[in-house]
Amino acid sequence: MSKEPMAARRSAASRAAILEAAFHLVGEVGYGKLSIEAIAARAGVGKQTIYRWWPSKGAVLFEAVFVRSFGDTENPAPLPDTGDLEADLRTVLRATALELADPEVDRPLRALTVAMLEDEALAREYRTRVEEPTREAKRARLRSAQRAGQLPASLDLDAAVDAIFAPMAQRWLHRAGPLTEEYADALLEITLGGLRRSGPN
Amino acid sequence: MSKEPMAARRSAASRAAILEAAFHLVGEVGYGKLSIEAIAARAGVGKQTIYRWWPSKGAVLFEAVFVRSFGDTENPAPLPDTGDLEADLRTVLRATALELADPEVDRPLRALTVAMLEDEALAREYRTRVEEPTREAKRARLRSAQRAGQLPASLDLDAAVDAIFAPMAQRWLHRAGPLTEEYADALLEITLGGLRRSGPN
Amino acid sequence: MSKEPMAARRSAASRAAILEAAFHLVGEVGYGKLSIEAIAARAGVGKQTIYRWWPSKGAVLFEAVFVRSFGDTENPAPLPDTGDLEADLRTVLRATALELADPEVDRPLRALTVAMLEDEALAREYRTRVEEPTREAKRARLRSAQRAGQLPASLDLDAAVDAIFAPMAQRWLHRAGPLTEEYADALLEITLGGLRRSGPN
Amino acid sequence: MSKEPMAARRSAASRAAILEAAFHLVGEVGYGKLSIEAIAARAGVGKQTIYRWWPSKGAVLFEAVFVRSFGDTENPAPLPDTGDLEADLRTVLRATALELADPEVDRPLRALTVAMLEDEALAREYRTRVEEPTREAKRARLRSAQRAGQLPASLDLDAAVDAIFAPMAQRWLHRAGPLTEEYADALLEITLGGLRRSGPN
DNA sequence: TGTTAAGCGAGACGGTACGTCCTGTCTTAAC
DNA sequence: GTTAAGACAGGACGTACCGTCTCGCTTAACA
């Protein structure tokens, strides 16, 4: 299989400069005030070069964030699997809490969320290329736990993934409270043990 | 003690026309393409009348959605309390699922979410006037269940509210799946019973 | 004959403040940037008070300049008549040159000229109440000279007044050169003696 | 030596459309109600295209009138020189009278006068590019008459030009009377012969 | 190994919307 | 019944960007 012949002349330097500029600009001014004109100026690039390769500022931002997060590969890392489901999920949830609390991550990710809310095509691409692979990694860990008899075989895996991970995402999105390891632990205890027997009883 | 004398001259007709116009326009074109110019034109109002009373298009939208949802009162309805916690939460979650699936609600709410992501002041107002009262109503129902011995006294109520309601909100926001009563039920079973014993075991 | 009964309640203080404000504002910002709003604010007066009594900002300016120049009387002073036509005209022309060179006069008068160019009704009022009386005073002096045999009886008096006074006005208007006594004298020599024998021949 | 490379990309079609639109609009609504917005709309052009190349609506108007009057050349036509000064001046003055009486000329010229009164920079440009070249043409004719012994060598040429031409300009500006050939002739007789011996004696 | 077409930076173009200022009309409360 | 105050519908201001469109220049691929 050969390299795609399309886009033969595309300037790698310009592409990198554009993504770099978009990423930093969005961190400075937010999605609403991000403009293609400013990206082009910051990147030292003609506007047409952006319009030639991306359909919208949201698409530029998506790629900028995506490249930062995944580099050149499309596949997310699998979740840790030590055999201890609770410990592994705790590790992941705590790491997520820390990452989302980092302004370097928070601002572009928030901007990307806006972009996706404004542009359904972008949202679709996100679901395909980010959300679904990530979710599959989470499902895989839960499946492993099912095989180990730690979770019921009949479990609705998607609902389970939502139950474990959505509360943190929602708190982050609406800044509804601090993203701490304590919060991560409290959530995990509820989700794994159930509200009815939650708490250190 | 008298009513505040300020803003005495404000035109109630113009205010209503503006909120009405904003609500419908945002449903037609989305938040990004909503313009104050268009709101003013649709409402038959001078732009200055909008700028005089609201600091941004997001603030107009917030008030438009708020008035639609709460009318003149500030207080959300309390959750049902029949004594059966699971049944009551099921009622609420199912109703939420149906409501979020309604385009008349979906579109303005999605737009409002964008507005809040773009404008922290607006997000703060939302948390104070919408999120926190609503959350308190939810907490109150859980406290009632604690008093009835259905939930542990040591439960972290905010984490519990998140665990119950966030997954649905997240699925709605990212259109990650259908908002059905089945999904509501599956979530509730996990959250109340815990993943480890979830499913019809 | 009594004071006119119309405008019974009109506030003399407000009228004076408005004219004062208009006069000074126009000197600061020029006619184009003069606004009724600014006049009202400077005069400490409601906008409606201006709109009630004057039809346009030009009319306010006209009255402001007019009151400054003529006070309460409508009649301009007659030209000096010592019997020596040339000396009398020299006196008047030199005085005109000095007055037009004074910024306190120059700026409002220039503004008034703009107002009249923009508003034919105002121009008509100016011609009736300022230009024509002034011109009649000039004609009167020339008539006196005719009676004294210093000017031909057949002279077209209006053309003569134009010939004597227009060049100075034009130079002032277009800032085409300095308004000096020398210029006044040079003009007078040409106009009285004729170009063909002008100069100290 | 090459033509200046700057402004390379300027659209000649847009420039022409703008000047055309400005010229006609000012004739319809006058200078005060002339708006850049309306010029742009009439010309089928973006506002920015006007702001890019002209600093003010006055500058647009100046160029519009200038192009109409002079086309691409900067130089005014010389005055006729048949050897008979009086006849030549009569020709010019009569032509001026007729031209100023033409509404097609009157309205834009009056507007341009307002523009210059409001904007000293514009007035300066007018003096440099229009008034001074025109005046030089007039001076040249008078110099020719001096060489022919028809005028004193000591004559102040600028004052003489003013004396000949200003009265007509002033009457036009203030609509102080009809601009007829008779008026032109009367002025010329006074200016050349002198008031003291004016009239058909 | 020179030709040629693509991608490139630059930026003008016709537009839309911004947020501000002012217009002329109106309504209210105070005197 | 006039006044100061100021809200109102409307419209123009001058600016910022939109997405499209040339313009010359650079550069890699093919001839």
Q: What is the pLDDT of residues A113-123, one digit of tens each?
A: 999 999 999 99
Q: Answer with the residue of higher pLDDT: A47 or C5.
A: A47
Q: Mean pLDDT score of chain B, rounded to an integer?
A: 90
C-chain residue closest to D156, CA distance: C186
Structure tokens given for D9: 């990309």
Nucleotide at minimal C1' distance from the A56 CA: F19
Is the pLDDT confidence value at A112 over 70?
yes
**Intervals of chain C under pLDDT 70:** 1-9, 72, 194-201
Instruction: Tell me if C94 sits within 8 A of C181, measured CB to CB.
Output: yes
Is the pLDDT confidence value at A198 over 80?
no
pLDDT band at D11 (very low <50, low <70, confident <90, very high): very high
**Chain C nearest C-alpha distance from D9 (Å):** 33
Is the pLDDT confidence value at A4 over 50?
no
Q: Average of pLDDT values for B133-153?
A: 93
Structure tokens given for B118: 């773009």
Domain with CATH 1.10.357.10 in chain D: 85-197
A-chain residue closest to B185, CA distance: A159
Is the pLDDT confidence value at B7 over 70?
no
Instruction: Tell me if A22 sits within 8 A of A34, measured CB to CB.
Output: yes
Nucleotide at minimal C1' distance from the C35 CA: E22
Is the pLDDT confidence value at A5 over 60?
no
d(CA D23, CA D39): 9
- The shortest CB-CB distance from C163 to any of D110, D167, D196 is to D167
Q: Average of pLDDT values for B97-107?
A: 92
Q: Interface partners of B (3+ CB pairs, < 8 Å)?
A: A
d(CA B13, CA B17): 6
- The shortest CB-CB distance from B118 to any of A31, A166, A169 is to A31
Q: Give yes or no for B195 touching A (CB within 8 A).
A: yes
Q: Mean pLDDT score of chain D, rounded to an integer?
A: 90
Is the pLDDT confidence value at A78 over 70?
yes
D-chain residue closest to C193, CA distance: D194
Homologous superfamily of B85-197:
Tetracycline Repressor, domain 2 (1.10.357.10)
Distances C122 to A64, B40, B176, D32 between C-alpha atoms, Å: 64, 37, 71, 14
Q: Are B198 and A116 inside 8 Å of each other by CB?
A: no
Q: Give yes or no for C2 touching D (CB within 8 A).
A: no
Domain with CATH 1.10.10.60 in chain B: 12-70
Question: What's the pLDDT at C195?
Answer: 62
Q: Average of pLDDT values for A88-112?
A: 94
Going B7 to B11 to B12 to B16, the CA torsion angle's sign is: negative
Question: What's the pLDDT at D73?
Answer: 74
Which CATH number describes the domain made up of D12-70?
A: 1.10.10.60
Question: What's the pLDDT at C196?
Answer: 66
| A149-196 pLDDT per residue, tens | 999 988 999 999 999 999 999 999 999 999 999 999 999 999 998 766
Question: What's the pLDDT at A197?
Answer: 67
Question: What's the pLDDT at C10?
Answer: 75
pLDDT band at D87 (very low <50, low <70, confident <90, very high): very high
Q: Give yes or no for D149 touching C (CB within 8 A).
A: no
- The shortest CB-CB distance from C152 to any of D153, D186, D197 is to D197
**Residue D24, number of CB atoms within 10 A of its CB:** 14
